[in-house]
Amino acid sequence: MWTASSVLNPKQREESLNALRTEHFDVLVLGGGVTGAGVALDAVTRGLKTALVESQDYAAGTSSRSSKLIHGGLRYLEQYDFKLVREALHERELMVTTQAPHLVKPLSFLYPLHHKVRERTYVGAGLALYDALRGLQRALPNHKHLSHKKVQEIAPCLDPKIVIGGIEYFDAQVDDARHTMMIQRTAAMYGAHSLTRARVEELIREGGKVVGARVTDLLTGESINVRSRVVIMAAGVWTNELHEKFGVKSNYTVRMSKGVHILLPKSAIASETGMILKTAISVLFIIPWDNKWLVGTTDTDYTGDKVNPVATKEDIDYILREANKVLLRPLTNEDILGAFAGLRPLVSQSKAALSTKTSREHMVDRAEPGFVSIAGGKYTTYRVMAKDAVDAAAPDLPSTLVDSITKHIPILGAPGFQALVNSTERLASEFGISVESVNHLLNRHGSDIFEVGALITQDSSLSAPLCDGLPYLRAEIAYAVSHEGAMSVIDVIARRTRISFESGDYGRSVSDAVAELIAPILGWSEEQKQASLVEFLAFAKSESESAAK
């Protein structure tokens, strides 16, 4: 009997672990970032028996450290990559309207202009094309030109001597780590098994074909041979390392580029809209983030630690310097509440490659029978990347493989979301919390708000905020481990919430409270609780100290 559930927790982990021990899968996915989660969802909704393993946590790498934008990529227009822009804009419209309206929100941006005629004509033409490439489905408004006076009204932070006008356009925003985790929960709802803290040691080959992988459960040390028709690897910046480890001769390589963001208080920048600033090497985004500002990003080659990339003083100085070129009130290091760094997996094709499929800045490679890998791409186009990866695995799958249907699959929490938005006062009364807290929960959990509300009904103390100054309720901390697969203090503070860069102290002040809330749900001993706290404090120390160097 099929009893699939969207819940990710210790009980689910044990059930998935047992399935990996005993069952034969069609698809085994390596990697729990947005692409891996997307592959799991694509495969399982095509009727394929699917499992996913991840050595850390869902979205532990690049997928929790992006600019948190769902966008077409204005800069790709300058490279004449119209296909990529069109595809990304189409995905953006899908996410805002039907796939994830509870998680992906429209966001306005101002493009400041510095020259009266030539620049307005050039940029305006580009934004007109940006709007047109969306096609007929248009959930977001078209761009519009703004006068010098209007720009000063909506963004008085800009120096009127430098900025002579502007153009407003729209993209969208997402909490990347939450979105990734919800994709995986959606895959679980359709029957996919998943296991975090599980490292793949080697591929299993028989008769010249990959037929599975040997996996180590990092919690117990148990070694498991997982059998599968095909292994699909979505390992991001770990791709080269794993290709070498598995003895795979791939037709592409991945290099890392580091992107850094800083978080500022709302008072640091006087503006009613986000902004995009052209720099000598790329663009800089000034992005509203709840009641704060997220500013970034950098683009520098990177060869350091993949697990914990950090923002350096040089990175932060660059961001401040570029932003201050147009701001009346200069930003300083004292304004910064937090910072984080992420790594982009940039792909390049081998000259000898014949089978590698190159498109949309990502590459899919079936390097040998039974093994497919995918890397590169944009967060926005994760669904298309996942579809391409499963399509590439077709020779190793049943001949009855159906086409991808994820275009029509809403992410968990999306169904009924708008009806609940219209019922916030009733929900506030039912759960005994404020309307503001209901809106906060809806925009993080969508229609799963009732599961969070059930925890509050069982224990009214969970309706209280975790701490002053941030909107997270104690119930959300408990829910992170009871339903969302969090297994440590870091998982909760850095990914299920974004307290690690929002709090101003990298989450240190709430770490004890978080540990106390999650320990009984995870069945921790006092020693296990303290070990998780020590692990988190080392993470916070690394994140905070690097920026001062």
Q: Does the structure show a pLDDT above 50 at 105?
A: yes
Q: How far apart are CA 110 and CA 395, in angstroms?
A: 47
- b/e burial code for range 475-509 (CB count within 10 A of at least 16 → b): bbbbbbbbbbbbbbbbbbbbbbbbbbbbbbebbbe
Decide if domain 10-63+178-251+355-408 falls under CATH 3.50.50.60.
yes
pLDDT of residue 487: 98
Q: Is 416 helix (H, G, I), strand (E, B) or coil?
A: coil
Radius of gyration for the alpha carbons in the chain, expressed in angstroms and rounded: 23
Q: What angle do CA 540, 530, 495 make, to 5 degrees?
A: 40
Mean pLDDT, the chain, integer:
93
pLDDT band for 2, please (50, 70, 90 cuts): low
One of 3.10.450.50, 3.30.70.520, 3.30.9.10, 3.30.360.10 is the CATH number of 86-171+255-345, namely 3.30.9.10
Per domain, the residue ranges of the chain are: 10-63+178-251+355-408, 86-171+255-345, 417-546
Contact (CB, 8 A) for 230 and 210: yes
The pLDDT score that the predictor gives to residue 84 is: 80
* DSSP H or E segment with residue 17: helix 10-22
Q: What percent of the chain has pLDDT over 70?
A: 96
Paired strand residues for 46: none
What tokens were used for 448?
């799963």
- Given a cut of 80, whether residue 187 has pLDDT beyond it is yes
Centre a 10 Å sphere on the Cβ of residue 450 and count the other Cβ atoms it contains.
Answer: 15
What average pLDDT does range 525-537 have in this prediction? Answer: 97
- Label residue 300 left, alpha or beta by phi (over 0 means left) and psi (-120 to 50 means alpha): beta
pLDDT value at residue 174:
97
Rounded CA separation 36/61 (Å): 12
User: Is 119 or 106 the better-scoring residue by pLDDT?
Assistant: 106
pLDDT > 90 fraction of the chain, expressed in percent and rounded: 82
CA distance linking residue 293 with residue 502, whole number of Å? 10
pLDDT at 122: 83
> 46 pLDDT exceeds 50?
yes
pLDDT for 546 equals: 60
Helix axes 82-94, 118-132, angle to 10 degrees: 60
- Band of the pLDDT at 80, cuts 50, 70, 90? low
DSSP code at position 67: -
Tell me the helices (H) and strands (E) count for the chain, helix number first: 19, 19
Q: What are phi and psi of 293, to 5 degrees?
A: -125, 135
Give the C-alpha separation, 532 to 10, whole Å. 16
**pLDDT value at position 195?**
98
* d(C-alpha 521, C-alpha 10), whole Å: 9
Q: Which residues, including other chains, have CB under 8 Å from residue 359's CB and lie 6 or more apart?
A: 83, 388
- Tokens 């780590």: give the residue: 177
Q: Is the pLDDT of residue 432 over 90?
A: yes
Provide the 3-class DSSP secondary structure of residue 194.
strand
This prediction has a pTM of 0.95
Q: Find, among 497, 393, 495, the residue nearest to 34 by Cα.
A: 495
pLDDT digits (tens, 9 = 90+) for 309-319: 989 999 999 99
Q: What is the pLDDT of residue 353?
A: 41
CA-closest candidate to residue 169, choices 114, 115, 110 = 110
Question: What pLDDT sits at residue 356?
Answer: 35
Region of 332 (left: φ > 0; alpha: ψ -120 to 50; beta: rest) is beta
Instruction: Answer yes or no: are the C-beta atoms of 545 and 309 closer than 8 Å.
Output: no
Query: How far apart, in Å, do the first and last CA atoms of the chain sit?
Result: 57
**Does position 121 have pLDDT exceeding 90, yes or no?**
no
Please determine, for residue 549, whether its predicted confidence score (pLDDT) is greater than 70.
no
- Of 329, 319, 257, 321, the closest CA to residue 285 belongs to 319
- Check whether 1 has a pLDDT greater than 60: no
| pLDDT (tens digit per residue) in 324-371 | 999 999 999 999 999 999 999 999 876 444 333 333 478 999 999 999
Identify the H or E element spanning 223.
strand 223-233
Q: How confident is the model over 269-327, as pLDDT tens digits?
A: 999 999 999 888 778 999 999 999 999 989 889 988 899 898 999 999 999 999 999 99
Beta pairing, strands 144-146 & 223-233: unpaired
Mean pLDDT confidence for 473-497: 98
Q: Domain 417-546: which topology?
A: Helicase, Ruva Protein; domain 3 (1.10.8)
CA 167 to CA 148: how far, in whole Å? 10
Helical ranges in 308-373 per DSSP H: 313-324
Cα angle, residue 112 at apex, residues 111 and 118 outer, rounded to 5°: 95
Least confident of 68-77, 193-202, 385-394: 68-77
Greater model confidence, 107 or 141: 107
> What pLDDT is stored for residue 420 in this prediction?
97
More confident residue, 196 or 116: 196
pLDDT over 60 (residue 548) = no
